Amino acid sequence: MAQSQSFVTKVPLVLAHKIDRLQYFLSNPLWLVMRQVCKFKLGRMLYRIGIPKTTDIPTSRNTSASVFEAVPTVTSVVEALKQDGMCGGFQLAPSVVEEIVQFAKSTPCYGDRRKQLGFYYDDREKAEQLANRAFAIGHFWNVPVMCSTVDRIRQDPALLAIAAHYLQGTPVHQGSQMWWTFAKPNTEAPLKSKGDAGQEFHYDLDDSYSVKFFFFLTDVDANSGAHVYVQGSHRWKQLRHQWKREGIPEAELMRTYGDDAVITVEGKAGLGFVEDTACFHRGIPSRSRDRLLLTVQYALRDYKMQSSIVQPASLSLVPGYRPEARLLSLQR
């Protein structure tokens, strides 16, 4: 009987998710066209036509307003992005990291990005039992609106200057995303869940040219969700890899671009780096502890497809999940 009830509960959630995804992809035909055309360098150049190149981009930043303890120079970042597709050296202030982590632990996240599967981080096991599934990630919706600290990062003059210089145009904020990647010590996530969590090698096509800043909000190593990218793969890709945007085995990427081109990024909480995500990249599945990651993305156009902003009324908690007892205990 319990199994039957679980099935009945699960079917509407699956259908709602599929309908939501279909609406998502059909809501912007121009975005769908861009995703095909900009797989190729000529297509990206054509899509760049009509967007004026900026000639007077400020290189200084207001350090008093910065959320960072350390930021590399604009020139060094842009040169590294052009050559390698990635540049590190960013460090968030500890107080900034603490504020965001506190937000992440006191605000519902949503299992595998499904808007009907909300729960608090500390209640993940209870939520998984009620949903009858193991979550690969816990995604946060409406982060820039609900967390002022994340919005400060989005508006930081250093990030805007770097994005403007690299894109050679006025940077448009496409979205700020934040999610937990949950540790799975003894199990292998299903293939689809790995793709949804960004754990397969892929490259992004969110505009003809775009740049994304990544920030570790927990300590990250090879066993807790390290980031991996293929150096220089934003400049040149094998024709087959231009068509096949995701799911390419690491061994094949090493044969094509060289063993030394596949680079792992680890670091303490607060570490940041910027990447041209036309590079192949992925997150390593976490085995030892959960990882909290924030990304902030800029491009030349915004197709409204990378935003984490949704109608609050569209969000709901896992069916049967009652966080009242937890909230009461926190208030005591």
Out of 15-19, 23-27, 184-188, 245-249, the most confident range is: 245-249
**pLDDT average, residue stretch 78-94:** 97
The pLDDT value recorded for residue 7 is 44
20-29, 44-53, 237-246, 310-319: range with highest mean pLDDT: 310-319
Q: How confident is the model at residue 98 (pLDDT cuts 50, 70, 90)?
A: very high
**179 bridge partner residues:** 139, 293
Of 118, 109, 104, nearest to 320 by C-alpha is 118
Q: Is the pLDDT of residue 247 over 70?
A: yes
Using the predicted structure, report yes or no on whether residue 121 has a pLDDT greater than 90.
yes
pLDDT of 265: 97
Mean pLDDT, rounded, for 86-95 = 97
Q: Please report the pLDDT score of residue 4 as a whole number.
A: 43
User: pLDDT tens, 185-209?
Assistant: 865 554 445 545 568 899 998 888 8
What mean pLDDT do residues 156-174 have?
93
For residue 273, the model assigns a pLDDT of: 98
Q: Is the pLDDT of residue 86 over 80?
A: yes
Using pLDDT thresholds of 50, 70 and 90, give the confidence band for residue 239. Answer: confident
Superfamily (CATH) of domain 2-331: q2cbj1_9rhob like domain (2.60.120.620)
pLDDT of residue 59: 46
Tokens found for residue 316: 């709901």
- pLDDT bin (cut points 50, 70, 90) of residue 117 is very high
Q: Where are the domains of the chain?
A: 2-331
Separation between Cα atoms, residue 107 and residue 129, nearest integer Å: 20
The burial class, CB within 10 Å (0-12 / 13-18 / 19+), for 152 is middle
- The chain-wide mean pLDDT, for the chain, equals 85
pLDDT at position 60 is: 43
pLDDT at position 161:
92
High-pLDDT (> 70) share of the chain, %: 81
> What pLDDT does residue 328 have?
46
**Percent with pLDDT over 90 in the chain:** 62
Q: What is the DSSP string of 67-125?
A: -EEE---HHHHHHHHHHHSEEEEEEE-HHHHHHHHHHHHHS-EEETT-TT-EE-GGGHH
* Confidence tier at 14 by pLDDT (50, 70, 90): low
What is the reported pLDDT for 120? 97
Q: What is the average pLDDT across 101-130?
A: 96
Instruction: Say yes or no to pLDDT of 41 above 50.
Output: yes
Has residue 321 got a pLDDT over 70?
Answer: yes
Choose among 181, 196, 185: nearest CA to 121: 181
Query: Among 81-85, 161-165, 198-202, 299-303, which is the least confidently predicted range?
Result: 198-202
Distance CA 203, CA 198 (A): 10
pLDDT value, residue 5: 43
Neighbouring C-alpha atoms within 13 Å toward the C-beta of 193: 17
